[in-house]
């Protein structure tokens, strides 16, 4: 870009500072935030700023609307304390990203447990490796696109990895999301009540103890270092807030969040409105990845760990704040229920127990898990 274009961009930013009253006066001179760098590309203009000492860091974000009035609606402000970036994108996020499994292959093939998230403002696919960044919290109001994202995440994992790579325990407490995964060969059980979920999690607890002993015996720090391969285990629970009174279940979930990474036991938790009574202590601190659709207010967005989610419009279905290293706004993939069902059909198997663990009490548990492949049957007998 030309020097002239850079100077014009700086001039517009200074104009925005004036409209937002982001300056001090020294006599008749204005003191603005220092513009340290201006980066112009075909996709965006990015300003790197340093606030003078004493400026309120919230001054920039609180005046986002002013920058949008000057530069257009596609403005993102990032940073903290003194150093910030203001990025003006040429294009906005797409209003919808249709799910196409083949299109995500390029960002999934190099990851142990690929989690697809969506497309960013540059239309680039965003994904991360759950084996490296463990434990996810997804949240968002009804209609925000959270359910479709969960569907895309789980379906993609099952299509990409074999049952020898990853197994699933699914908690579907609203009885609305995970039914399509019943009898998929990766899935140990789909549980719709705490009564059936608890025995499954007790088994997970035993398996974590077994894996911990294996790590100690072999003097290694992660299951990937063991000679004999063990599958990763993903515990995914939709509307986990419904378990707030289930103390034993929540204790096991917290234990997974604390020690599960090295043992290959990982969490994907979901809730509509973040509940601070559920997200407390160890669990809150150990959910390292946050993905949130629209939240009704700033407090809920803060509890969700996705500041800015309260600014998502109610009409922006699938718009999410994705927080891994720093928050970015993405458009999540839209996967229809029937399409997910079609994709999963080749993975279905007939089993003796249509609903694993269900209708079984603790006494009959061993007989109900003849296909439970975590290697713990000998521990139970």
Q: What is the pLDDT of residues 269-325, one digit of tens each?
A: 999 887 777 777 788 889 989 999 999 888 888 888 898 899 898 889 999 999 998
Closest CA relative to residue 256, chosen from 204, 179, 192, 203 = 204
- Given pLDDT bands bounded at 50, 70 and 90, which one contains residue 356? very low
Distances in whole angstroms, Cα of residue 267 to Cα of each of 188, 196, 256, 288, 324:
15, 18, 7, 10, 15
Mean pLDDT of all residues in 188-203 = 95
- Given pLDDT bands bounded at 50, 70 and 90, which one contains residue 65? very high
- The pLDDT, as a whole number, for residue 49 is 96
DSSP readout, 258-300?
HHHHHHTEEEEEEESS--TTTS-HHHHHH--EEEE---SSHHH
Please give the Cα distance from 12 to 67 (Å, whole number): 9
- The pLDDT, as a whole number, for residue 56 is 92
Tell me: pLDDT of 141 over 80. Answer: yes
Helices and strands, number each (H, E), in the chain: 11, 18
- Given pLDDT bands bounded at 50, 70 and 90, which one contains residue 344? very high
Question: Tell me: the pLDDT tens digits for 146-158?
Answer: 999 999 999 999 9
Mean pLDDT of all residues in 327-349 = 93
Question: Tell me: the pLDDT tens digits for 166-180?
Answer: 999 999 988 878 999
Tell me: pLDDT of 359 over 60. Answer: no
Q: Is 17 helix (H, G, I), strand (E, B) or coil?
A: helix
- Given pLDDT bands bounded at 50, 70 and 90, which one contains residue 351? low
Residue 368: phi and psi, rounded to 5, are -90, 0
- Given pLDDT bands bounded at 50, 70 and 90, which one contains residue 42? confident
- The pLDDT, as a whole number, for residue 124 is 86
């Amino acid at each position: 870009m030309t020097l002239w274009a850079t100077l014009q961009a700086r001039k517009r930013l200074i104009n925005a500072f004036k409209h937002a009253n982001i300056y001090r006066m020294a006599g008749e001179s204005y003191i603005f935030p220092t513009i340290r760098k201006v980066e112009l590309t075909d996709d965006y203009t990015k300003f790197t700023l340093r606030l003078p000492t004493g400026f309120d860091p919230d001054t920039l974000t609180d005046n986002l609307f002013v920058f949008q009035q000057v530069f257009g609606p596609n403005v993102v402000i990032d940073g903290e304390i003194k150093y910030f970036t203001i990025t003006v994108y040429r294009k906005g996020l797409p209003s919808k990203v249709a799910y196409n499994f083949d299109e995500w292959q390029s960002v999934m093939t190099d990851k142990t447990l690929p989690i697809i998230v969506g497309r960013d403002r540059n239309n680039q696919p965003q994904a991360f490796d759950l084996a490296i960044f463990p434990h996810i919290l997804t949240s968002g109001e009804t209609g925000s696109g959270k359910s479709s994202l969960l569907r895309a995440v789980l379906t993609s994992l099952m299509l990409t990895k074999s049952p020898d790579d990853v197994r699933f325990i699914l908690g579907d407490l609203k009885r609305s999301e995970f039914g399509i995964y019943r009898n998929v060969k990766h899935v140990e059980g789909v549980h719709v009540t705490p009564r059936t979920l608890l025995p499954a999690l007790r088994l997970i607890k035993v398996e974590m103890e077994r894996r911990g002993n294996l790590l100690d015996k072999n003097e290694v720090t992660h299951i990937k270092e063991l000679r004999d391969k063990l599958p990763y285990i993903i515990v995914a629970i939709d509307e986990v807030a419904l378990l707030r009174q289930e103390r034993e279940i929540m204790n096991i979930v917290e234990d997974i969040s604390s020690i599960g990474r090295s043992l290959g036991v990982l969490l994907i938790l979901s809730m509509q409105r973040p509940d601070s009574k559920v997200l407390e202590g160890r669990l809150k601190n150990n959910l390292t990845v946050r993905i949130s659709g629209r939240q009704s207010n700033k407090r809920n967005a803060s509890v969700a760990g996705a500041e800015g989610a309260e600014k998502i419009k109610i009409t922006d279905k699938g718009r999410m704040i994705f927080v891994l290293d720093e928050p970015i706004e993405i458009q999540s993939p839209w996967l229809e229920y029937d399409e997910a069902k079609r994709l999963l059909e080749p993975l279905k198997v007939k089993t003796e127990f249509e609903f694993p663990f269900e209708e079984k009490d603790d006494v009959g548990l061993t007989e109900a898990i003849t296909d439970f492949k975590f290697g713990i049957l000998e521990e139970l007998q």
